[in-house]
Chain A
Amino acid sequence: MTTLKQQLSTPHVLGIKDLTPEDIRLIFQTADEFKEVINRPIKKVPSLRDITIANLFFEDSTRTRISFELAEKRLSADVINFSASSSSVKKGETLLDTVNNILSMKVDMLVMRHPAPGAAHFLAQHIDASIVNAGDGTHEHPTQALLDAYSMQEKLGDLKGRRIAILGDILHSRVALSNIFCLTKLGAKVRVCGPPTLIPRHIAELGVEVSYNVRETMEWCEVANVLRIQLERQNIRYFPSLREYSRYFGLNKALLDELDGPRVIMHPGPINRGVELTSDVADSEHSIILQQVENGVAIRMAVLYLLAVSRS
């Protein structure tokens, strides 16, 4: 890894919004090297030896938590895991007190998943360790967007001018916002599509197109990143039923077969099979959902490594 002398422009990775296109390219370049590492028989490098990383998960997560933990272990970091349901923490010790307690045990970096938008920014304003935002409510999920864009680039090459659609629940998705920031920074054309109630009113000001028609959007795009319907984040009914959603906004094979050619299908997981995506689409040869997961480890290794480099 000695060939890389560049550093990220930020001390934390709180969101894609704060990263420059150069940061993103540096992360991709670093991920290329780590991807090669994790495909070796010995998948481990000593890059983060003596660095202690705490994974703080205040919200349920399977793939992101495992992906980060694997990334950390493959970089030889010391890892501690903390999970708590947000409600118990809300009632008791404050986030800041919890984190300060953990930091007093000499932790260098934090990876945090939290249900509140801005939680990672809040911590960054009050503590010293480097922070990687592993998803803060409906705000950002930067490493997911990085691995998405990295996977698209693997498939299509340079993303400049490429047409990417983000389908589904844009309003409640941290992935959508990070995707938009990341893809527009890389020069791609982005269109969001879903029912009007699930599309934030001012989203077009971020430089994306808005559509309420899935078929039209699929005809237009080269890649469709299908988002999960976030029922768990909806206290208000934004659409009438899953049945209606899947019928008018879901992707199925019949719809894809009518297009002029194949489209790359992505999903950040976990999939609501039969709702936003039917199984024959999710598991088709044009789906790169599992490659996304694989790339996730390399991307997270790159992010952690680059942050550790700037720390030292």
Chain B
Amino acid sequence: MKWLIKNARILSATSPWDDQVLDLLLVDGVIENVGAGLQDADAQVFNAGASLLSPGWLDIGCVHGDPGFEHREDLFSLAAAARAGGYTAIAPFPNTNPPSDSQAQLQYLKHHKAHTQVDIHPIAALTEGVGGQAIAEMMDLYHAGAVAFSDGLKSIQHAGVMMRALEYVKPFRGLVINRPDELFLSAEGQLHEGLESTLMGVPGIPPLAEELMLYRDLRLADYAQSRLMAYNISTAGAADLIRTAKGSGLEVFASVAALNLAFDSTQLLNFDSNLKVLPPLRSAGDQEALIEALRDGTIDCITSGHLPLEADLKLKEFPYTAFGAIGLETAFALAHTRLEKVMDVRLLVDKLANGPRRVLGLPIPEIKAGVPANFTIFDPQKEWVFSDRHIRSKSRNSPLLNRHLKGKVLATFFRQEVQINID
């Protein structure tokens, strides 16, 4: 099977053709040739129309339900949603049932047929049963293919467990990921603590809950001299903490969710449960600080925060609804819509394609002859309205339905699998 991609502007710092509009010829999922004016009568043609082509994107921390909650998302639907959003690789969290806390669970993920659609790099549970109490068999999990360790949606509260985990992974330079959230402070909180939570009569989640826990994690990482990623920070204070830690030479990383870049807490005033997410949407000032932290390298990557949930968990009274929104299909478009005027698309794509791989220590796919195809083609100028027909996830809990977005993923090429998105 041959594919000829015409007129793609290559966006890859490691490629000799960076920033040039060229053609690519693929044969059986491998890039055979890159150049101008390529022809092949047998090939199927995809005309990129001078759209951008970058290494395929990778999402850290997306959530699925395979096994245990397949009605929300199985690995096939997760892969399809990822591909629709421009991702050719995912590093999913272990919050399944049972959770990915054993070699057997990881084998299931590593050998799943969905690998034909996307590369799955599992993040294994940090503690047994993601219970937060006793560290999991991390050595074994590492050898079974875990790229990092985390209890995912569940923030590790126990400082001793966190410290032992950070120490235990040192022999194999493992990475510990924690979502910083001091649960005694965020206890009954439903959204960012501020004027909006006051107006809504709903308990707030203070920025301090995130910052205090992040401070603890950074001190522990320093104490253990180990590697830490703060998953999806949301406050200006958290960005400052990461900046200082990086400055002191600690090997720490941080991500931010696309939703936290695009929306602030004022959007919740009408009790829109699809915007009830963790970390919560913060203030406009926090947003600005997060954008600056992306720009100066404090924040390494942008995540989709993808968390699929059935309708029943969202279509009810605000305090009773679950936290989370799907996001794989829309992360790029949402972030680009928000950042278009303040951030070069090259940097944005770096945070989607390269940043996540640098964090996880994975090779960045190259755009050159002789390597398997692994790239995303997208048009930053294309305006579109996100609707139900664009959703590939099994769940529909998106705050973006019927919203106008700018920037669209047109196609992804991953080995032999070609996905061309609908308009």
Contact = CB atoms under 8 A, between A and B. Distances in A.
Interface of A: 17, 90, 94-96, 114, 116-119, 121-122, 125, 136-140, 174, 177, 200-203, 205-206, 235-236
Contacts of B273: 122
B139 interface: no
Q: Which of B187, B197, B320 has the most CB of A within 10 A?
A: B320
B193 A116 contact: no
A117 B201 contact: yes
A236 B187 contact: yes
Given A202-B197, A205-B195, A90 B202 contact: no
Contacts of A205: 195, 198
Contact of B201 (A94, A174, A201): A174
A231 to B, nearest CB: 16
B197 A137 contact: no
Given A121-B271, A202-B195, A177 B318 contact: no
Interface string B190-229: 0001110111111110100000000000000000000000
A174 B198 CA distance: 11
Contacts of B199: 17, 177, 206
8 contacts: A117-B200, A118-B202, A118-B318, A125-B270, A137-B201, A138-B202, A140-B201, A202-B194
Contacts of A117: 200-202, 271, 318-319
Given A202-B193, A202-B197, 20 more contacts: A17-B199, A94-B316, A95-B317, A116-B317, A117-B200, A117-B202, A117-B318, A118-B318, A119-B318, A122-B271, A122-B317, A137-B201, A201-B198, A201-B204, A201-B206, A202-B198, A203-B198, A206-B198, A206-B199, A235-B188
A219 B288 CA distance: 44
B362 interface: no
A114 B201 CA distance: 13
Contacts of B312: 94
Interface string B101-139: 000000000000000000000000000000000000000
Interface in B167-201: 187-188, 193-195, 197-201
What does DSSP make chain B's interface, helix, strand, loop or mixed?
Answer: loop
Interface residues of B, number: 24
A-B pairs, 8 with minimum CB distance: A139-B201, A116-B317, A118-B271, A118-B318, A138-B201, A202-B198, A119-B317, A117-B201
B315 interface: yes
A48 B319 CA distance: 34
Contacts of A174: 201
Nearest to B202: A117
Q: Which of A17, A125, A201 has the most CB of B within 10 A?
A: A201
A94 B321 CA distance: 11
Contacts of B270: 121, 125
A206 B197 CA distance: 12
Contacts of A94: 312, 315-316
A161 to B, nearest CB: 24
A205 B312 CA distance: 35
Contacts of B195: 202, 205-206
Nearest to A136: B201
A136 B206 CA distance: 23
A303 to B, nearest CB: 20
A177 B197 CA distance: 12
Interface string B304-339: 000000001001111110000000000000000000
Contacts of B318: 116-119, 121-122
Interface string B346-384: 000000000000000000000000000000000000000
A119 B271 CA distance: 9
Q: Which of A125, A202, A236 has the most CB of B within 10 A?
A: A202
B279 to A, nearest CB: 18
Contacts of A177: 198-199, 201
A146 to B, nearest CB: 17
B310 to A, nearest CB: 12
Nearest to A94: B316
A206 B199 CA distance: 8
A177 B319 CA distance: 18
B344 to A, nearest CB: 36
A216 B63 CA distance: 54
B6 to A, nearest CB: 47
